[in-house]
C-alpha cells in the first residue's frame, strides 16, 4: 500500500493542474475562419492598321493616259482573334515607271485594353534575284506625321541620326525613339479606322505613317547611255518585287 501512495498523490496533483487550466481565465475551443478567393486577369496590347491613301508624283505623270497611269491599292484585313497579333496591311503597285515616286499612308491604333507604343518599323527586302534587280533601282523611306508634318524616321539607333532614303534592296529598321519620341497609343475601340472616343480621350488614339518608294531614273536622256543606266533600267522592265513592312509595338506600364 505504501508503494501506491506516491502514485495516488501524483494523480491527484495532475488532476488539480488540469482543473486549473479550464478555470475562469481560459478560452473556449470553438474556431471560425473566412475564405477568400482571388481572380487575376491580364490586359492586352494589340495593334491594328487602318489603310489611308496612296499617291504618285512624277514629272510626266500628268501627261499619261488613264491606261498608262500606275494602279495602286491599299487594304487591311480584320483584326485577328489571337491576342497580341496584329492584322495585315497590303499595298499593291502596278505599272510602276522610272522617275516616279509612290507614297502610301496608314494609321495604327491599339484595340487592346492596355496602353503601348510603336517603337520600331522593319523593312525586309524581297531576296528573289529578279526582285533584287528591281529593288536596286528603288529607294524606300518611312515617315511619321508629327504635328501635321511628315518627318523622316531615322534608320539608326544612334541619337540624332537623320532618316534618309535607303536602297529598297536592303533590310532596314526605323527607330521611333528619335527626337519626337516613340508613337504612344491608348486603347480604343475603332470603327472603320475611326477611334470611338471623345474630347481629350482621343489623345494618342492613333499614329500615322507613310512609306515612300522612289523608282530611280538616273538618265537625263533615255536615248543615251550613262554608265549603262539605260541598259539597267530596261533590264528591270516587267519585273516585280514583294518587300515587307512590319510595325512593332510594346506595352508600356
Residue 228 pLDDT grade (very low, low, confident, very high; cuts 50, 70, 90): low
Inform me whether the pLDDT recorded for 189 exceeds 60.
Answer: yes
Q: Using an 8 Å Cβ cutoff, are 226 and 219 in contact? A: yes
* Percent of the chain surpassing pLDDT 70: 79
Predicted pLDDT at 59: 85
Alpha-carbon dihedral 141, 120, 242, 193, rounded to 10 degrees:
-90
Which helix (DSSP H) or strand (DSSP E) does residue 55 occupy? strand 47-57
Report pLDDT for 13: 44
> Is residue 246 scored above 90 in pLDDT?
yes
Task: Note whether 92 and 72 are within 8 A (CB).
Answer: yes
Quick one: pLDDT at residue 17? 42
Quick one: pLDDT at residue 115? Answer: 94
Q: For residue 220, what pLDDT band results from cuts at 50, 70 and 90?
A: low
DSSP assignments along 79-139, one per residue: PPSSTT----EEEEEES--TT-EEEEEEEEEE-SSS-EEEEEEEEE---SHHHHHHHTTEE
Neighbours of 53 (CB within 10 A): 11
Express each pLDDT in 5-54 by its tens digit: 333 333 434 444 444 444 556 666 888 999 999 999 999 999 999 999 99
For the residues 123-141, what does the mean pLDDT come to? 95
Residue 222 pLDDT grade (very low, low, confident, very high; cuts 50, 70, 90)? low
pLDDT at 26: 62
- Say whether pLDDT at 203 is over 70: yes
Q: Which grid coordinates are listed for 10?
A: 501524483
User: Average pLDDT of the chain?
Assistant: 83
> Cβ–Cβ contacts within 10 Å for residue 207, how many?
23
Flag the least confident range among 49-58, 108-117, 133-142, 143-152.
Answer: 143-152
Q: 21-25, 87-91, 177-181: which has the highest mean pLDDT?
A: 87-91
- Give CA–CA dist 51/89, Å, rounded: 7
Given a cut of 70, whether residue 227 has pLDDT beyond it is no
**What pLDDT, on the 0 to 100 scale, is given for residue 6?**
37
Q: Quickly tell me which residue has 481629350 as its cell.
A: 200
pLDDT tier at 76, thresholds 50, 70, 90: very high
Distance set, CA 247 to CA 73, 80, 175 (Å): 19, 16, 11
Give yes or no for a contact between 180 and 159, defined as CB atoms under 8 angstroms apart.
no
Three-state DSSP string of 201-225: HHCCCEEEEEEEEEECCCCCCCCCC
pLDDT for position 107: 96
Q: Is a pLDDT exceeding 60 seen at residue 120?
A: yes
Amino acid at each position: 500500500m505504501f508503494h501506491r501512495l506516491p502514485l495516488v498523490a501524483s494523480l491527484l496533483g495532475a488532476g488539480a493542474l488540469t482543473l486549473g487550466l479550464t478555470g475562469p481565465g481560459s478560452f473556449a475551443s470553438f474556431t471560425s475562419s473566412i475564405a477568400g478567393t482571388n481572380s487575376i486577369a491580364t490586359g492586352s496590347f494589340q495593334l491594328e492598321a487602318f489603310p489611308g491613301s496612296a499617291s504618285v508624283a512624277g514629272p510626266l505623270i500628268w501627261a499619261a493616259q488613264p491606261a498608262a497611269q500606275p494602279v495602286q491599292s491599299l487594304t487591311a484585313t480584320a483584326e485577328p482573334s489571337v491576342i497580341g497579333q496584329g492584322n495585315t496591311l497590303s499595298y499593291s503597285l502596278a505599272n510602276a515607271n522610272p522617275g516616279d515616286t509612290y507614297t502610301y499612308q496608314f494609321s495604327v491604333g491599339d484595340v487592346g485594353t492596355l496602353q503601348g507604343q510603336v517603337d520600331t518599323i522593319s523593312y525586309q527586302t524581297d531576296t528573289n534575284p529578279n526582285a533584287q534587280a528591281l529593288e536596286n533601282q528603288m529607294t524606300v523611306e518611312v515617315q511619321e506625321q508629327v504635328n501635321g508634318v511628315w518627318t523622316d524616321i531615322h534608320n539608326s539607333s544612334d541619337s540624332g541620326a537623320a532618316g534618309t532614303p535607303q536602297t529598297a534592296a536592303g533590310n532596314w529598321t526605323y527607330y521611333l525613339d528619335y527626337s519626337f519620341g516613340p508613337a504612344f497609343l491608348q486603347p480604343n475601340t475603332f470603327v472603320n479606322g475611326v477611334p470611338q472616343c471623345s474630347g481629350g480621350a482621343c489623345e494618342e488614339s492613333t499614329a500615322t505613317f507613310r512609306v515612300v518608294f522612289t523608282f530611280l531614273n538616273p538618265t537625263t536622256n533615255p536615248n543615251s547611255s550613262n554608265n549603262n543606266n539605260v541598259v539597267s533600267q530596261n533590264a528591270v522592265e516587267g519585273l516585280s518585287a514583294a518587300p515587307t513592312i512590319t510595325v512593332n509595338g510594346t506595352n508600356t506600364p
